[in-house]
Structure 1
Amino acid sequence: MTKKIVTAHDIFMFVPNLIGYGRIVLAIVAFYFIKTNYIIAAACYILSGFLDAFDGHAARLLNQGTKFGAMLDQLTDRAATACLCVALATFYPQYMFWFQMSLALDIVSHWMHLHVSQLGGTSHKSIGLEGNPIMRLYYTSRPVLFAMCSGNELFFAMLYLLHFTEGPLIEFAGLNLGLVRLVLYLSTPIMIGKAVISLIHLVDASRRLAEVDAEERSKAE
């Protein structure tokens, strides 16, 4: 039986990567319309983020997980968040500093953790905090991971929509709130929690990288 040779072209055409290309197209459409048509922009951005769950599922189901796919997924997430934060900073200039801090933390923590995981040969979702029950739950429960990532994306998407509309009125806890504002309020704790997790990622990855440096210096001496 002849063993099939997998080429780079085959990797590019794996189903999870095709989904990734679709996410990129949706994100580009979203940012093209971000100032002129908030319905198209929000719909494309949210759909692009939602498909993030499906490419990972497809990779596991079809055994098509690749380093290229993981990098494509990470870069799409970071670039999409960065582009949205740029738009939000123009819509809410009084909060520009916080958008800058959020963006910097998101990029630096994920880049550092992905870099260190490549050195160690483990997934960027493997974190060396075995004694931390919150982090263990975050990365071992797919529903929790999906809820945290989705809630974080919803916060920024609703903040964008709120610049244009409050949405239909909803009665909640005795208050009449626009649906967009309500979802924004409900997703705010999730966004804060996700930021804390990103900070933990950064600290953990920094510690791991320092350990690699220490090990290399010890061997050299």
Structure 2
Amino acid sequence: MAQENVFLFAPNLIGYIRVILGLLSFYLMPSSPWPAVSCYLLSFLLDEVDGSVARAMDQCSRFGAMLDMLTDRCATMCLLVNLSLLYPSYTFLFQLSMCLDISGHWLYMHSSSIKGSTSHKTIDLSGNPVLRVYYTSWTFLCVMCYGNELFFCLLYLLHHLQEPAAWFYWLLALCGIICLLKTFINLMHLVTAAQDIAALDAADREKRQ
């Protein structure tokens, strides 16, 4: 059999479309808020599509998982950079959010890889209960992820809207609460991954003694 080209797997092709939509969104952000947000949210919604396609076509891959993770993290980071320009007095909070998001997910995915997990979403049921719920409840995962991204998008739109309706502020407040919960989960990623890697280090040192 001819060797399969992982780069051309259907879910990875969708991943490339997500990257293009993300880049287009960032390009439009300085001048076209609504098209920028539309491209951003469409890219984020396709995250669920590529995962479903990967499972349906049996085309899950390490490259696809990494592409998916990097696209999510870089997209959120670039949006937060834009928000730092729009709300300079809150720059430190946006920087803190970026640090927790990137470091937590990167370290967690790295720990999953060195433990031999097929996916960073494969959770040991005896592990962290918060992350167990986060990765085993599709509804909870979607609410956390979409609510977090929507909060940042609403903050971006708030800067460009003249007189937002009352519902806009209510939705912003609700998504703000979700964003705080998601930040706590990012911290759990960081702590859990650090503990896992430290345990692996301790086990390796014990074997050498």
Q: Which residue identity lines up with residue 163 of structure 1 in the other structure?
A: H
CA deviation string 1:171-209 (max 9, x = no partner):
xxxxxx153x33211111111111111111111100000
What is the distance in 1 between the residues matched to 2:131 and 2:125? 7
- CA separation in 1, counterparts of 2:148 and 2:24? 21
SS in 2 for 1:163: helix
2:39 corresponding residue in structure 1: 44
Post-superposition Cα deviations, 1:136-167, rounded to whole Å, max 9, x if no partner, equal 22211112211211111101111111110167
2: distance between equivalents of 1:104 and 1:54?
27
Are residues 1:5 and 2:2 paired? yes
Q: What percentage of residue pairs aligned between the two structures are identical? A: 47
In the alignment, does 2:199 pair up with 1:211? Answer: yes
Question: Residues 89 and 99 of structure 1 are in contact (CA less than 8 Å); yes or no, is this contact kept in structure 2?
Answer: yes
Q: Tell me how far 1:94 sits from its aligned partner.
A: 0.5
Please, what is the CA RMSD of the aligned residues?
A: 1.6
Residue 64 of structure 1 deviates from its aligned partner by: 0.6
The answer for the alignment partner of 1:71 in structure 2 is 66
Could you tell me which of 16, 24, 29 is aligned with 2:24?
29
Equivalent in the alignment of 1:92: 87
The question of 1:163 aligning with 2:163 is answered no
Structure 1 stretches of 4+ moved >6 Å: none
Pair 1:148-2:148 in alignment: no
Q: Do structure 1's residue 185 and structure 2's residue 173 form an aligned pair?
A: yes
The C-alpha deviation readout for 1:75-94, integer Å capped at 9, x for no partner, is 10111111111100000000
Q: Which residues of structure 1 form unaligned runs of 5+?
A: 170-176
- Provide TM-score, normalisation by structure 2: 0.94
CA distance in 2, matches of 1:167, 1:63: 48
Following TM superposition, by how much is the alpha carbon of 1:36 offset from its aligned partner in structure 2, in angstroms?
0.4
Structure 2 CA distance for partners of 1:168 and 1:98, relative to 1, 3 Å: closer
